Amino acid sequence: MIKKRVKWGLVGLGLQGKRMMRAMEASAHAELAGAASRHSGGALPQLLKKKDIDAVCITTPNHEHAVQAIAVARARKHILCEKPLALSMREGRAILQAVQKSGVHCFVNYHLRLHPEAQKARVLLAQKKLGDITYIEMQWSVGVLAQKNVPPLPRHMRWRESHARSGGGALTMRGVHLFDLLRFIAGKEVVKVRAWSDATRTRVDRTAIGLFVLEDNTPAVITTSKIIRDADNHITIYGTKGKLVLRDIFSTNPQAMYKKVFGCFAEAIKGKKTPLATLEDGIAAVAIAEAFTRSASDARRTSL
């Protein structure tokens, strides 16, 4: 039986791991019971042997998520995984199989779902306050790489520049957040993707732009970039009765939302309804990212 304060194991002690550690410390629903560095090969197995750990938070580089999530599931610990859940649908299905077999809960840290603007927008759309939705536009860009003399990434973060280890640049840093928000706010599935990015065989994307079609045939355009300076970051939803513009969602310090994640997690593993991204939500975002990458590659082959 899970106690009021979930006892956590943490794997990955980089920047995001430290953020999640601070969120645990600030939460009345979480307690850090052990941590493992990804640089120590035997650290995770040792962590999983601890009987007092209820759940494990995975904050390692993207290419390690699937193997670690499967190991955590087999140890019958609940899982909170950083986004993206996996780098392919093959990995996503393997995680799903392991989680279903073990009976544990698995959630993905798409924390922007917990922002009040996202919550309000989801309700307004469900209640048809904007009428029928005709178009959705999302932009989240930072423009860091447009500055002069940008220093190289520190050694421990250089995995972000590798296709094999990160799965993409802006695409997997912020794009997957937008894919999840599109599904969450609209309450609809993405059924078609047409994409462009500036990725090459040797460099991950700096800018990624996609046209997405929801199951009710509503179009949405998503832009994310590391080179667009002074971007007008927003989510704008157009309907037959008006429009809704969300701006604060990308400027809010995420630490408060990370704290909320641990509170929601504690409720969710008791069977209560949660806004957290489920395993199925995580897999849906992986499917969209995979389709995006495939479409962007096709677009480069069909230039005039």
**What pLDDT sits at residue 295?**
97
**What pLDDT sits at residue 1?**
40
Going by pLDDT thresholds of 50, 70 and 90, the confidence category of residue 2 is very low
**What pLDDT sits at residue 150?**
79
Which CATH code of 1.10.357.140, 3.30.360.10, 3.90.480.20, 2.70.98.50 fits the domain covering 113-251+284-301?
3.30.360.10
Q: Look up residue 71 and give its two tokens.
A: 């190991």
pTM of the predicted model as reported, rounded to 2 decimal places? 0.95
CA torsion 222→227→232→234, rounded to 10°?
40
Separation between Cα atoms, residue 246 and residue 49, nearest integer Å: 44
**What pLDDT sits at residue 303?**
73
Separation between Cα atoms, residue 19 and residue 13, nearest integer Å: 9
Spell out the residues 6+ positions from residue 207 whose beta carbon is closer than 8 angstroms to its own.
Answer: 141, 170, 197, 198, 223, 224, 225, 226, 227, 228
State the chain's mean pLDDT as an integer.
95
The CA–CA distances, whole Å, from 7 to 152, 165, 266 equal: 37, 29, 10
Burial of 99 (0-12, 13-18, 19+ CB in 10 A): buried
Q: What percent of the chain has pLDDT over 70?
A: 98
Going by pLDDT thresholds of 50, 70 and 90, the confidence category of residue 3 is low
Spell out the residues 6+ positions from residue 233 whose beta carbon is closer than 8 angstroms to its own.
Answer: 139, 140, 141, 247, 250, 251
Q: Give the model confidence (pLDDT) of 219-255 as tens digits.
A: 999 999 999 999 999 999 999 999 999 999 999 999 9
Per-residue pLDDT averaged across 106-131, rounded? 98
**What pLDDT sits at residue 302?**
77
Q: Give the model confidence (pLDDT) of 134-158 as tens digits.
A: 999 999 999 888 777 778 888 888 9
DSSP secondary structure, 188-248, as one string: --EEEEEEEE---SSS--SEEEEEEEETTS-EEEEEEESS-TT---EEEEEETTEEEEE-G
Per-residue pLDDT averaged across 268-292, rounded? 97
Which CATH code of 3.40.250.10, 3.40.50.720, 3.30.70.980, 3.30.310.160 fits the domain covering 6-111+257-277?
3.40.50.720
Same fold for the pair 6-111+257-277 and 113-251+284-301: no
Sequence spans of domains, the chain: 6-111+257-277, 113-251+284-301
The CA–CA distances, whole Å, from 291 to 74, 88, 107 equal: 29, 10, 22
Q: What percent of the chain has pLDDT over 90?
A: 89
